[in-house]
Structure 1
Amino acid sequence: MKILVTGGAGFIGSAVVRLAVRRGHQVVNLDALTYAANLDNVAPVSDSELYRFEQADIRDRPTLDRIFARHRPDVVMHLAAESHVDRSIDGPAAFIETNVMGSFNMLEAARAYWTDQGRPQDFRFHHISTDEVFGSLGKTGQFTETTPYDPRSPYSASKAGSDHLVRAWHETYGLPVVLTNCSNNYGPYHFPEKLVPVVILNALAGRQIPVYGDGGNVRDWLYVEDHADALLLVVEKGRVGRSYNIGGENEATNIDLVRTICAHMDDLHPQGAPHDRLIAFVPDRPGHDRRYAIDPARIRDELGWRPSVTVEQGLRRTVEWYLDNRDWWQPLLARDGVGKRLGTG
Protein backbone atom coordinates (compact mmCIF):
# COMPACT_ATOMS: atom_id res chain seq x y z
CA MET A 1 0.00 0.00 0.00
CA LYS A 2 1.28 3.47 -0.85
CA ILE A 3 0.30 6.01 1.81
CA LEU A 4 0.45 9.79 1.49
CA VAL A 5 0.91 11.10 5.04
CA THR A 6 0.43 14.81 5.60
CA GLY A 7 2.27 16.24 8.59
CA GLY A 8 4.61 13.27 8.64
CA ALA A 9 7.44 15.23 10.25
CA GLY A 10 5.27 16.09 13.24
CA PHE A 11 4.75 14.14 16.43
CA ILE A 12 1.89 11.77 15.56
CA GLY A 13 2.54 11.84 11.82
CA SER A 14 6.13 10.72 12.23
CA ALA A 15 5.02 7.81 14.42
CA VAL A 16 2.71 6.76 11.59
CA VAL A 17 5.51 7.11 9.03
CA ARG A 18 7.97 5.07 11.09
CA LEU A 19 5.47 2.27 11.76
CA ALA A 20 4.14 2.15 8.19
CA VAL A 21 7.61 1.84 6.69
CA ARG A 22 8.54 -0.84 9.23
CA ARG A 23 5.45 -2.77 8.13
CA GLY A 24 6.48 -2.62 4.48
CA HIS A 25 4.22 0.15 3.18
CA GLN A 26 5.44 2.79 0.76
CA VAL A 27 5.17 6.20 2.41
CA VAL A 28 5.21 9.70 0.97
CA ASN A 29 5.69 12.23 3.75
CA LEU A 30 4.20 15.63 2.88
CA ASP A 31 5.15 18.32 5.38
CA ALA A 32 5.60 22.10 5.28
CA LEU A 33 8.29 21.91 8.01
CA THR A 34 6.80 24.60 10.19
CA TYR A 35 8.08 25.28 13.71
CA ALA A 36 6.94 21.99 15.30
CA ALA A 37 8.07 19.72 12.46
CA ASN A 38 11.40 17.95 12.51
CA LEU A 39 12.82 15.59 9.90
CA ASP A 40 14.89 13.98 12.64
CA ASN A 41 11.57 12.43 13.74
CA VAL A 42 11.68 10.15 10.70
CA ALA A 43 15.44 9.60 10.63
CA PRO A 44 15.06 5.90 11.60
CA VAL A 45 13.35 5.20 8.25
CA SER A 46 14.50 8.05 6.01
CA ASP A 47 17.07 5.89 4.20
CA SER A 48 14.49 3.24 3.30
CA GLU A 49 13.57 2.71 -0.35
CA LEU A 50 9.94 2.78 0.84
CA TYR A 51 10.18 6.40 2.04
CA ARG A 52 9.86 9.66 0.12
CA PHE A 53 9.64 13.24 1.35
CA GLU A 54 7.84 16.20 -0.22
CA GLN A 55 8.13 19.62 1.40
CA ALA A 56 4.81 21.28 0.68
CA ASP A 57 2.12 23.35 2.36
CA ILE A 58 -1.42 21.94 2.35
CA ARG A 59 -2.65 25.47 1.62
CA ASP A 60 -0.93 25.27 -1.79
CA ARG A 61 -3.41 23.44 -4.01
CA PRO A 62 -1.35 23.33 -7.26
CA THR A 63 1.54 21.68 -5.43
CA LEU A 64 -0.83 19.15 -3.88
CA ASP A 65 -2.12 18.23 -7.33
CA ARG A 66 1.43 17.68 -8.56
CA ILE A 67 2.25 15.47 -5.58
CA PHE A 68 -0.85 13.30 -6.11
CA ALA A 69 -0.01 12.93 -9.80
CA ARG A 70 3.65 12.14 -9.12
CA HIS A 71 3.16 9.55 -6.36
CA ARG A 72 -0.32 8.10 -7.05
CA PRO A 73 -1.14 7.08 -3.46
CA ASP A 74 -3.58 4.34 -2.55
CA VAL A 75 -4.65 6.15 0.62
CA VAL A 76 -4.23 9.53 2.29
CA MET A 77 -3.66 9.90 6.03
CA HIS A 78 -4.26 13.56 6.77
CA LEU A 79 -2.53 14.62 10.00
CA ALA A 80 -1.10 18.02 9.04
CA ALA A 81 -2.52 20.61 11.43
CA GLU A 82 -1.74 23.38 13.83
CA SER A 83 -2.37 21.66 17.14
CA HIS A 84 -1.24 23.64 20.18
CA VAL A 85 -4.24 25.08 22.04
CA ASP A 86 -2.23 27.83 23.72
CA ARG A 87 -0.90 29.04 20.37
CA SER A 88 -4.43 29.04 18.96
CA ILE A 89 -5.48 31.47 21.68
CA ASP A 90 -2.66 33.87 20.79
CA GLY A 91 -2.93 33.50 17.00
CA PRO A 92 -6.12 31.81 15.75
CA ALA A 93 -5.70 32.82 12.09
CA ALA A 94 -3.03 30.19 11.39
CA PHE A 95 -5.33 27.50 12.75
CA ILE A 96 -8.20 28.48 10.47
CA GLU A 97 -5.91 28.75 7.44
CA THR A 98 -4.19 25.41 7.99
CA ASN A 99 -6.80 23.24 9.68
CA VAL A 100 -9.85 24.42 7.73
CA MET A 101 -8.59 25.78 4.41
CA GLY A 102 -5.68 23.34 4.27
CA SER A 103 -8.05 20.42 4.83
CA PHE A 104 -10.35 21.79 2.14
CA ASN A 105 -7.43 21.84 -0.29
CA MET A 106 -6.48 18.28 0.65
CA LEU A 107 -10.04 17.08 0.11
CA GLU A 108 -10.29 18.78 -3.27
CA ALA A 109 -6.90 17.49 -4.41
CA ALA A 110 -7.80 13.98 -3.25
CA ARG A 111 -11.21 14.15 -4.93
CA ALA A 112 -9.72 15.30 -8.23
CA TYR A 113 -7.10 12.54 -8.12
CA TRP A 114 -9.66 9.89 -7.11
CA THR A 115 -11.98 10.93 -9.92
CA ASP A 116 -9.15 10.93 -12.45
CA GLN A 117 -8.24 7.39 -11.38
CA GLY A 118 -11.78 6.18 -12.06
CA ARG A 119 -13.06 6.47 -8.47
CA PRO A 120 -11.40 3.26 -7.16
CA GLN A 121 -13.38 1.70 -4.32
CA ASP A 122 -10.31 0.87 -2.25
CA PHE A 123 -9.05 4.47 -2.12
CA ARG A 124 -9.29 6.05 1.35
CA PHE A 125 -9.02 9.56 2.74
CA HIS A 126 -8.33 9.14 6.47
CA HIS A 127 -8.80 12.33 8.44
CA ILE A 128 -7.15 12.34 11.87
CA SER A 129 -8.79 14.62 14.44
CA THR A 130 -9.10 15.14 18.19
CA ASP A 131 -11.50 14.50 21.05
CA GLU A 132 -11.38 18.23 21.80
CA VAL A 133 -14.08 18.81 19.17
CA PHE A 134 -16.58 17.35 21.64
CA GLY A 135 -16.03 20.00 24.29
CA SER A 136 -15.80 19.33 28.02
CA LEU A 137 -17.26 16.52 30.15
CA GLY A 138 -18.44 16.59 33.72
CA LYS A 139 -17.23 14.14 36.35
CA THR A 140 -18.86 11.20 34.56
CA GLY A 141 -19.50 10.06 31.02
CA GLN A 142 -17.35 9.49 27.94
CA PHE A 143 -17.22 10.80 24.39
CA THR A 144 -18.68 8.48 21.76
CA GLU A 145 -18.75 8.87 18.00
CA THR A 146 -22.26 10.35 18.29
CA THR A 147 -21.42 12.96 20.95
CA PRO A 148 -22.52 16.40 19.68
CA TYR A 149 -19.69 18.73 18.75
CA ASP A 150 -19.04 21.55 21.22
CA PRO A 151 -15.54 23.00 20.58
CA ARG A 152 -14.28 25.54 23.12
CA SER A 153 -10.97 26.85 21.70
CA PRO A 154 -9.86 28.20 18.31
CA TYR A 155 -7.89 24.98 17.87
CA SER A 156 -10.79 22.63 18.55
CA ALA A 157 -13.17 24.79 16.50
CA SER A 158 -10.83 24.61 13.52
CA LYS A 159 -10.57 20.83 13.84
CA ALA A 160 -14.36 20.54 14.16
CA GLY A 161 -14.66 22.52 10.95
CA SER A 162 -12.32 20.17 9.13
CA ASP A 163 -14.23 17.13 10.45
CA HIS A 164 -17.46 18.55 9.03
CA LEU A 165 -15.80 19.18 5.66
CA VAL A 166 -14.60 15.58 5.46
CA ARG A 167 -18.07 14.22 6.16
CA ALA A 168 -19.58 16.62 3.63
CA TRP A 169 -17.15 15.52 0.90
CA HIS A 170 -18.19 11.92 1.58
CA GLU A 171 -21.92 12.63 1.50
CA THR A 172 -21.85 15.08 -1.42
CA TYR A 173 -19.16 13.65 -3.67
CA GLY A 174 -18.87 10.05 -2.48
CA LEU A 175 -15.21 10.43 -1.51
CA PRO A 176 -14.33 7.30 0.51
CA VAL A 177 -13.38 8.68 3.90
CA VAL A 178 -12.76 7.45 7.42
CA LEU A 179 -12.30 9.67 10.46
CA THR A 180 -10.68 9.21 13.84
CA ASN A 181 -10.81 11.36 16.97
CA CYS A 182 -8.05 10.66 19.46
CA SER A 183 -7.34 11.49 23.07
CA ASN A 184 -4.15 13.22 24.32
CA ASN A 185 -1.01 11.67 22.83
CA TYR A 186 2.39 11.46 24.49
CA GLY A 187 5.63 9.61 23.88
CA PRO A 188 8.98 9.92 22.04
CA TYR A 189 9.54 12.83 19.65
CA HIS A 190 6.90 15.01 21.33
CA PHE A 191 7.63 18.67 20.61
CA PRO A 192 8.89 20.29 23.84
CA GLU A 193 6.08 22.83 24.27
CA LYS A 194 3.53 20.17 25.27
CA LEU A 195 2.82 19.13 28.87
CA VAL A 196 4.70 15.82 29.16
CA PRO A 197 8.01 16.99 27.65
CA VAL A 198 7.74 20.32 29.50
CA VAL A 199 7.58 18.42 32.79
CA ILE A 200 10.51 16.15 31.88
CA LEU A 201 12.78 18.90 30.59
CA ASN A 202 11.97 21.37 33.37
CA ALA A 203 12.61 18.70 35.97
CA LEU A 204 15.90 17.87 34.27
CA ALA A 205 16.92 21.53 34.30
CA GLY A 206 15.72 22.20 37.85
CA ARG A 207 13.17 24.76 36.61
CA GLN A 208 9.64 25.39 37.80
CA ILE A 209 7.11 22.86 36.49
CA PRO A 210 3.95 24.85 35.68
CA VAL A 211 0.55 23.24 36.27
CA TYR A 212 -2.50 25.16 35.06
CA GLY A 213 -5.23 26.01 37.56
CA ASP A 214 -5.67 23.44 40.31
CA GLY A 215 -4.26 20.59 38.21
CA GLY A 216 -7.60 18.80 38.28
CA ASN A 217 -8.20 18.80 34.53
CA VAL A 218 -8.63 15.19 33.37
CA ARG A 219 -7.33 13.74 30.11
CA ASP A 220 -7.27 10.25 28.60
CA TRP A 221 -3.61 9.58 27.75
CA LEU A 222 -2.70 7.61 24.63
CA TYR A 223 0.83 6.43 23.88
CA VAL A 224 1.70 7.70 20.42
CA GLU A 225 2.92 4.37 19.06
CA ASP A 226 -0.36 2.75 20.10
CA HIS A 227 -2.15 5.55 18.26
CA ALA A 228 -0.12 4.96 15.08
CA ASP A 229 -1.04 1.28 15.22
CA ALA A 230 -4.74 2.16 15.53
CA LEU A 231 -4.57 4.66 12.66
CA LEU A 232 -3.07 2.13 10.27
CA LEU A 233 -5.73 -0.39 11.27
CA VAL A 234 -8.53 2.10 10.59
CA VAL A 235 -7.19 3.11 7.18
CA GLU A 236 -6.93 -0.55 6.19
CA LYS A 237 -10.09 -2.00 7.74
CA GLY A 238 -12.35 0.84 8.89
CA ARG A 239 -15.77 1.19 7.30
CA VAL A 240 -16.13 3.96 4.72
CA GLY A 241 -17.93 7.00 6.09
CA ARG A 242 -17.37 5.82 9.66
CA SER A 243 -15.63 7.60 12.52
CA TYR A 244 -13.71 5.89 15.30
CA ASN A 245 -12.74 7.29 18.68
CA ILE A 246 -9.25 6.21 19.76
CA GLY A 247 -8.49 6.40 23.47
CA GLY A 248 -5.77 5.16 25.74
CA GLU A 249 -8.11 3.93 28.49
CA ASN A 250 -5.84 5.89 30.84
CA GLU A 251 -7.64 8.78 32.51
CA ALA A 252 -5.54 10.94 34.82
CA THR A 253 -5.64 14.43 36.24
CA ASN A 254 -2.88 16.72 35.10
CA ILE A 255 -1.43 16.96 38.59
CA ASP A 256 -1.34 13.16 39.00
CA LEU A 257 0.32 12.85 35.59
CA VAL A 258 2.93 15.44 36.53
CA ARG A 259 3.65 13.72 39.85
CA THR A 260 4.04 10.37 38.08
CA ILE A 261 6.57 11.87 35.69
CA CYS A 262 8.43 13.40 38.64
CA ALA A 263 8.55 10.01 40.34
CA HIS A 264 10.07 8.45 37.21
CA MET A 265 12.58 11.30 37.08
CA ASP A 266 13.49 10.66 40.72
CA ASP A 267 14.23 7.04 39.84
CA LEU A 268 15.92 7.52 36.45
CA HIS A 269 17.66 10.84 37.10
CA PRO A 270 18.00 11.20 40.90
CA GLN A 271 20.02 14.41 40.66
CA GLY A 272 17.71 17.13 41.92
CA ALA A 273 15.18 14.76 43.46
CA PRO A 274 12.52 15.02 44.65
CA HIS A 275 11.45 16.67 41.43
CA ASP A 276 7.88 17.32 42.55
CA ARG A 277 9.26 20.17 44.68
CA LEU A 278 9.45 22.10 41.38
CA ILE A 279 5.66 21.95 40.79
CA ALA A 280 4.03 25.38 40.74
CA PHE A 281 0.34 26.08 40.11
CA VAL A 282 -0.11 28.92 37.62
CA PRO A 283 -3.19 30.80 36.35
CA ASP A 284 -5.35 28.65 34.12
CA ARG A 285 -5.63 29.25 30.39
CA PRO A 286 -8.87 30.72 28.98
CA GLY A 287 -11.57 28.15 28.20
CA HIS A 288 -9.60 25.21 29.62
CA ASP A 289 -11.82 22.13 29.21
CA ARG A 290 -12.20 20.30 32.50
CA ARG A 291 -12.37 16.68 31.41
CA TYR A 292 -12.03 14.54 28.29
CA ALA A 293 -12.68 10.80 28.22
CA ILE A 294 -13.01 8.45 25.25
CA ASP A 295 -15.33 5.48 24.90
CA PRO A 296 -13.32 3.22 22.56
CA ALA A 297 -16.01 0.55 22.19
CA ARG A 298 -16.46 0.97 18.44
CA ILE A 299 -12.84 0.47 17.44
CA ARG A 300 -12.54 -2.35 19.98
CA ASP A 301 -15.69 -4.20 18.89
CA GLU A 302 -15.49 -3.60 15.12
CA LEU A 303 -11.73 -3.74 14.53
CA GLY A 304 -10.40 -5.55 17.59
CA TRP A 305 -8.05 -2.76 18.69
CA ARG A 306 -7.09 -1.88 22.26
CA PRO A 307 -4.12 0.10 23.59
CA SER A 308 -1.16 -2.02 24.61
CA VAL A 309 0.65 0.50 26.84
CA THR A 310 -0.56 1.75 30.22
CA VAL A 311 0.09 5.35 31.17
CA GLU A 312 2.57 4.20 33.82
CA GLN A 313 4.53 2.16 31.28
CA GLY A 314 4.32 4.81 28.60
CA LEU A 315 5.47 7.65 30.83
CA ARG A 316 8.49 5.69 31.98
CA ARG A 317 9.43 4.88 28.38
CA THR A 318 8.99 8.54 27.49
CA VAL A 319 11.18 9.79 30.34
CA GLU A 320 13.86 7.27 29.36
CA TRP A 321 13.68 8.42 25.74
CA TYR A 322 14.14 12.10 26.59
CA LEU A 323 17.04 11.30 28.90
CA ASP A 324 18.68 9.26 26.14
CA ASN A 325 18.02 11.68 23.25
CA ARG A 326 19.28 15.10 24.27
CA ASP A 327 20.67 15.69 20.79
CA TRP A 328 17.09 15.55 19.47
CA TRP A 329 15.40 17.98 21.86
CA GLN A 330 18.14 20.46 22.76
CA PRO A 331 18.08 22.30 19.38
CA LEU A 332 14.29 22.58 19.57
CA LEU A 333 14.41 24.66 22.74
CA ALA A 334 15.52 27.64 20.65
CA ARG A 335 12.46 27.56 18.38
CA ASP A 336 9.81 30.26 18.51
CA GLY A 337 7.75 30.28 21.69
CA VAL A 338 9.29 27.19 23.29
CA GLY A 339 9.76 27.68 27.02
CA LYS A 340 7.46 30.71 27.13
CA ARG A 341 3.98 30.92 28.61
CA LEU A 342 1.50 31.11 25.71
CA GLY A 343 -2.26 31.35 25.51
CA THR A 344 -2.97 33.72 28.38
CA GLY A 345 -5.56 35.57 26.34
Structure 2
Amino acid sequence: LLDASVKFAVERFHQISTDEVYGDKPLDYDWRGFTEASPLQPSSPYAASKAAADLLCLAYARTYGLYVTISRSSNNYGKWQHTEKLLPKIISLAEHGQKLPVYGPGLNKRDWLYVLDHCVAVDKIIRHGKAGHIYNVAAGTEMSNLTFIKLVLKILAKDENAIEFTEDRAGHDLRYPMDCEKIKNELDWTPQYTFQEALDETVAWYRSRML
Protein backbone atom coordinates (compact mmCIF):
# COMPACT_ATOMS: atom_id res chain seq x y z
CA LEU A 1 0.00 0.00 0.00
CA LEU A 2 2.78 2.42 0.85
CA ASP A 3 4.65 1.58 -2.38
CA ALA A 4 1.46 2.12 -4.39
CA SER A 5 0.82 5.41 -2.60
CA VAL A 6 4.26 6.69 -3.55
CA LYS A 7 3.99 5.39 -7.13
CA PHE A 8 0.62 7.04 -7.76
CA ALA A 9 1.28 10.18 -5.70
CA VAL A 10 -1.49 9.57 -3.15
CA GLU A 11 -2.18 12.77 -1.22
CA ARG A 12 -2.76 11.23 2.20
CA PHE A 13 -2.06 7.91 3.89
CA HIS A 14 -3.66 7.27 7.25
CA GLN A 15 -2.62 4.28 9.35
CA ILE A 16 -5.12 3.05 11.96
CA SER A 17 -3.04 1.42 14.66
CA THR A 18 -3.70 0.24 18.21
CA ASP A 19 -2.88 1.01 21.83
CA GLU A 20 -1.26 -2.44 21.98
CA VAL A 21 1.93 -1.14 20.34
CA TYR A 22 2.89 0.53 23.64
CA GLY A 23 2.90 -2.69 25.67
CA ASP A 24 1.09 -2.64 29.00
CA LYS A 25 1.14 -1.07 32.44
CA PRO A 26 0.38 -2.60 35.88
CA LEU A 27 -3.26 -2.66 36.95
CA ASP A 28 -2.53 -0.22 39.78
CA TYR A 29 -0.64 2.25 37.54
CA ASP A 30 -2.02 5.71 38.39
CA TRP A 31 0.22 8.16 36.54
CA ARG A 32 -0.05 9.70 33.09
CA GLY A 33 -0.85 7.18 30.33
CA PHE A 34 1.11 6.46 27.17
CA THR A 35 1.71 9.51 25.01
CA GLU A 36 2.42 9.51 21.29
CA ALA A 37 6.13 9.79 22.14
CA SER A 38 6.15 6.71 24.43
CA PRO A 39 8.46 3.89 23.32
CA LEU A 40 6.96 0.95 21.45
CA GLN A 41 7.11 -2.23 23.52
CA PRO A 42 4.55 -4.64 21.99
CA SER A 43 3.93 -7.88 23.87
CA SER A 44 2.32 -10.09 21.24
CA PRO A 45 3.25 -10.91 17.63
CA TYR A 46 0.04 -9.15 16.53
CA ALA A 47 0.98 -5.97 18.38
CA ALA A 48 4.52 -6.20 17.03
CA SER A 49 3.14 -6.36 13.47
CA LYS A 50 1.12 -3.19 14.13
CA ALA A 51 4.16 -1.43 15.58
CA ALA A 52 6.18 -2.46 12.53
CA ALA A 53 3.47 -1.06 10.26
CA ASP A 54 3.58 2.26 12.14
CA LEU A 55 7.35 2.45 11.70
CA LEU A 56 7.08 1.63 8.00
CA CYS A 57 4.60 4.48 7.56
CA LEU A 58 6.89 6.95 9.31
CA ALA A 59 9.86 5.71 7.27
CA TYR A 60 7.97 6.30 4.01
CA ALA A 61 7.07 9.77 5.23
CA ARG A 62 10.73 10.60 5.78
CA THR A 63 12.21 8.85 2.74
CA TYR A 64 9.56 9.67 0.13
CA GLY A 65 7.75 12.64 1.62
CA LEU A 66 4.47 10.72 1.81
CA TYR A 67 1.86 12.62 3.84
CA VAL A 68 1.34 10.09 6.64
CA THR A 69 -0.71 10.27 9.83
CA ILE A 70 -1.25 7.54 12.43
CA SER A 71 -3.98 7.02 15.02
CA ARG A 72 -3.67 4.58 17.91
CA SER A 73 -7.04 3.71 19.37
CA SER A 74 -8.36 1.73 22.30
CA ASN A 75 -10.90 -1.13 22.02
CA ASN A 76 -13.74 -0.32 19.64
CA TYR A 77 -17.35 -1.45 19.96
CA GLY A 78 -20.43 -0.86 17.84
CA LYS A 79 -22.63 -2.32 15.10
CA TRP A 80 -21.34 -4.76 12.48
CA GLN A 81 -18.31 -5.87 14.51
CA HIS A 82 -16.91 -9.31 13.70
CA THR A 83 -18.52 -11.98 15.85
CA GLU A 84 -15.14 -13.09 17.20
CA LYS A 85 -14.84 -9.80 19.12
CA LEU A 86 -15.73 -9.62 22.80
CA LEU A 87 -19.04 -7.73 22.76
CA PRO A 88 -20.89 -9.61 19.99
CA LYS A 89 -19.44 -12.88 21.28
CA ILE A 90 -20.75 -12.24 24.81
CA ILE A 91 -24.20 -11.36 23.48
CA SER A 92 -24.38 -14.42 21.24
CA LEU A 93 -23.27 -16.83 23.96
CA ALA A 94 -25.59 -15.32 26.56
CA GLU A 95 -28.59 -15.32 24.22
CA HIS A 96 -28.01 -18.99 23.47
CA GLY A 97 -27.64 -19.93 27.15
CA GLN A 98 -23.98 -20.87 26.83
CA LYS A 99 -21.09 -20.26 29.22
CA LEU A 100 -19.09 -17.05 28.89
CA PRO A 101 -15.34 -17.80 29.10
CA VAL A 102 -13.30 -15.12 30.88
CA TYR A 103 -9.50 -15.19 30.75
CA GLY A 104 -7.85 -15.51 34.17
CA PRO A 105 -9.63 -13.57 36.93
CA GLY A 106 -10.97 -11.05 34.39
CA LEU A 107 -9.10 -8.11 35.92
CA ASN A 108 -7.30 -7.00 32.75
CA LYS A 109 -8.50 -3.50 31.90
CA ARG A 110 -9.48 -2.01 28.54
CA ASP A 111 -10.74 1.38 27.41
CA TRP A 112 -13.92 1.14 25.33
CA LEU A 113 -14.30 3.54 22.39
CA TYR A 114 -17.59 3.75 20.49
CA VAL A 115 -16.93 3.25 16.80
CA LEU A 116 -18.70 6.44 15.69
CA ASP A 117 -16.52 8.51 18.02
CA HIS A 118 -13.50 6.78 16.49
CA CYS A 119 -14.76 7.60 12.98
CA VAL A 120 -15.03 11.28 13.88
CA ALA A 121 -11.48 11.20 15.26
CA VAL A 122 -10.13 9.64 12.06
CA ASP A 123 -12.00 12.19 9.96
CA LYS A 124 -10.51 15.06 11.96
CA ILE A 125 -7.02 13.61 11.61
CA ILE A 126 -7.37 13.13 7.85
CA ARG A 127 -8.68 16.67 7.40
CA HIS A 128 -6.51 18.56 9.87
CA GLY A 129 -3.78 16.24 11.22
CA LYS A 130 -0.16 17.20 10.72
CA ALA A 131 2.04 15.17 8.40
CA GLY A 132 4.15 12.61 10.24
CA HIS A 133 2.14 12.96 13.44
CA ILE A 134 0.59 10.30 15.68
CA TYR A 135 -2.66 10.74 17.62
CA ASN A 136 -3.90 8.62 20.52
CA VAL A 137 -7.66 8.05 20.55
CA ALA A 138 -9.47 6.70 23.63
CA ALA A 139 -12.76 7.36 25.40
CA GLY A 140 -11.65 7.41 29.04
CA THR A 141 -13.95 4.49 29.85
CA GLU A 142 -11.37 2.04 31.16
CA MET A 143 -12.71 -0.93 33.13
CA SER A 144 -11.88 -4.57 33.79
CA ASN A 145 -13.05 -7.21 31.34
CA LEU A 146 -15.13 -8.74 34.12
CA THR A 147 -16.89 -5.44 34.82
CA PHE A 148 -17.59 -4.98 31.12
CA ILE A 149 -19.06 -8.45 30.76
CA LYS A 150 -21.26 -7.98 33.84
CA LEU A 151 -22.60 -4.71 32.40
CA VAL A 152 -23.55 -6.48 29.18
CA LEU A 153 -25.24 -9.30 31.11
CA LYS A 154 -27.20 -6.73 33.11
CA ILE A 155 -28.49 -5.13 29.90
CA LEU A 156 -29.42 -8.58 28.60
CA ALA A 157 -31.06 -9.48 31.95
CA LYS A 158 -28.90 -12.60 32.08
CA ASP A 159 -27.47 -14.36 35.14
CA GLU A 160 -23.82 -13.76 36.02
CA ASN A 161 -23.53 -17.48 36.79
CA ALA A 162 -22.96 -17.94 33.07
CA ILE A 163 -19.43 -16.52 33.55
CA GLU A 164 -16.77 -19.23 33.46
CA PHE A 165 -13.17 -18.38 34.35
CA THR A 166 -10.61 -20.05 32.09
CA GLU A 167 -6.83 -20.22 31.84
CA ASP A 168 -5.33 -16.85 30.98
CA ARG A 169 -4.08 -16.44 27.44
CA ALA A 170 -0.36 -16.16 26.70
CA GLY A 171 1.03 -12.61 26.72
CA HIS A 172 -2.26 -11.13 27.93
CA ASP A 173 -1.55 -7.42 28.49
CA LEU A 174 -2.85 -5.95 31.74
CA ARG A 175 -3.93 -2.50 30.56
CA TYR A 176 -3.14 0.27 28.07
CA PRO A 177 -3.70 3.66 29.69
CA MET A 178 -3.40 6.37 27.01
CA ASP A 179 -3.02 10.12 27.20
CA CYS A 180 -5.25 11.72 24.53
CA GLU A 181 -4.57 15.39 25.23
CA LYS A 182 -2.93 15.87 21.83
CA ILE A 183 -5.99 15.11 19.71
CA LYS A 184 -8.25 16.99 22.13
CA ASN A 185 -6.10 20.13 22.12
CA GLU A 186 -4.92 20.17 18.50
CA LEU A 187 -7.98 18.80 16.68
CA ASP A 188 -10.76 19.60 19.16
CA TRP A 189 -11.87 15.97 19.44
CA THR A 190 -13.69 14.49 22.42
CA PRO A 191 -16.08 11.51 22.57
CA GLN A 192 -19.67 12.61 21.90
CA TYR A 193 -21.44 9.43 22.99
CA THR A 194 -21.79 8.39 26.61
CA PHE A 195 -20.61 4.87 27.30
CA GLN A 196 -23.88 3.55 28.76
CA GLU A 197 -26.07 4.98 26.00
CA ALA A 198 -23.81 3.68 23.23
CA LEU A 199 -23.52 0.28 24.90
CA ASP A 200 -27.30 0.00 25.36
CA GLU A 201 -27.89 0.89 21.71
CA THR A 202 -25.23 -1.53 20.47
CA VAL A 203 -26.47 -4.45 22.56
CA ALA A 204 -30.05 -3.81 21.40
CA TRP A 205 -28.90 -3.82 17.77
CA TYR A 206 -27.13 -7.18 18.11
CA ARG A 207 -30.07 -8.70 19.97
CA SER A 208 -32.49 -7.60 17.23
CA ARG A 209 -30.38 -9.46 14.66
CA MET A 210 -30.15 -12.62 16.75
CA LEU A 211 -33.84 -13.01 17.65
User: Where on the TM-score scale, by shorter chain, does this alignment land: which range?
Assistant: over 0.9
Report the Cα distance in structure 2 between the residues aligned to 1:249 and 1:173, rounded to whole angstroms: 36
Whether 2:65 is the aligned partner of 1:181: answer no
In the alignment, which residue of structure 2 is the partner of 1:290? 174
Q: Which amino acid aligns with 1:294?
A: M
Question: TM-score scaled to structure 1, two decimals?
Answer: 0.59
Q: Which amino acid aligns with 2:13?
A: F
In the alignment, which residue of structure 1 is the partner of 2:196? 312
Q: CA deviation at 1:186?
A: 0.8
In the alignment, which residue of structure 1 is the partner of 2:88? 197
Whether 2:53 is the aligned partner of 1:162: answer yes
In the alignment, which residue of structure 1 is the partner of 2:118? 227
Report the Cα distance in structure 2 between the residues aligned to 1:237 and 1:285, rounded to whole angstroms: 39
RMSD of equivalent CA atoms: 1.2
Report the Cα distance in structure 2 between the residues aligned to 1:313 and 1:243, rounded to whole angstroms: 29
Question: TM-score scaled to structure 2, two decimals?
Answer: 0.95
Q: CA deviation at 1:303?
A: 0.4
Asked if 1 retains the 8 angstrom alpha-carbon contact of 2:72 and 2:137, the reply is yes
Report the Cα distance in structure 2 between the residues aligned to 1:296 and 1:311, rounded to whole angstroms: 17
Asked if 2 retains the 8 angstrom alpha-carbon contact of 1:192 and 1:198, the reply is yes
Q: Which amino acid aligns with 2:74?
A: S
* SS of match in other structure, 1:199: helix
Report the Cα distance in structure 2 between the residues aligned to 1:109 and 1:326, rounded to whole angstroms: 41
Asked if 1 retains the 8 angstrom alpha-carbon contact of 2:21 and 2:48, the reply is yes
Runs of 4+ in 1 over 3 A off after TM superposition: none
Q: CA deviation at 1:314?
A: 2.0
In the alignment, which residue of structure 2 is the partner of 1:41? none
Specify every segment of 5 or more residues in structure 2 that has no aligned partner in the other structure, as ranges: none
Asked if 2 retains the 8 angstrom alpha-carbon contact of 1:135 and 1:151, the reply is yes
How is 1:207-286 mapped onto 2 (pairs within 5 angstroms)?
207-266=98-157, 273-274=158-159, 276-286=160-170
Report the Cα distance in structure 1 between the residues aligned to 2:34 and 2:195, rounded to whole angstroms: 19
Q: Which amino acid aligns with 2:5?
A: A
Report the Cα distance in structure 2 between the residues aligned to 1:184 and 1:247, rounded to whole angstroms: 8
Report the Cα distance in structure 2 between the residues aligned to 1:280 and 1:312, rounded to whole angstroms: 24
Q: Which amino acid aligns with 1:184?
A: N
How is 1:15-164 mapped onto 2 (pairs within 5 angstroms)?
106-114=1-9, 123-138=11-26, 139-140=28-29, 141=31, 142-164=33-55
* SS of match in other structure, 2:170: coil
Report the Cα distance in structure 2 between the residues aligned to 1:290 and 1:314, rounded to whole angstroms: 25
* SS of match in other structure, 2:132: coil
* SS of match in other structure, 1:325: helix
Q: CA deviation at 1:245?
A: 0.3
Q: Which amino acid aligns with 1:109?
A: A
Report the Cα distance in structure 1 between the residues aligned to 2:191 and 2:177, rounded to whole angstroms: 14
Report the Cα distance in structure 1 between the residues aligned to 2:146 and 2:73, rounded to whole angstroms: 21
Q: CA deviation at 1:326?
A: 2.9
Identity of aligned residues (%): 41
Q: Which amino acid aligns with 2:12?
A: R
Q: CA deviation at 1:311?
A: 2.4
Largest Rg, 1 or 2: 1
Q: Which has the higher contact order (CA 8 A, sep 6+)?
A: 2
Asked if 1 retains the 8 angstrom alpha-carbon contact of 2:109 and 2:145, the reply is yes
Q: Deviations over 1:245-283 (max 9, x none)?
A: 0001110100000000000001xxxxxx32x12001110
Report the Cα distance in structure 1 between the residues aligned to 2:70 and 2:98, rounded to whole angstroms: 39
Q: CA deviation at 1:146?
A: 0.8
Q: Deviations over 1:320-344 (max 9, x none)?
A: 01011238xxxxxxxxxxxxxxxxx
* SS of match in other structure, 2:8: helix
Asked if 2 retains the 8 angstrom alpha-carbon contact of 1:250 and 1:310, the reply is no
Q: Which moved more, 1:251-260 or 1:312-321?
A: 312-321
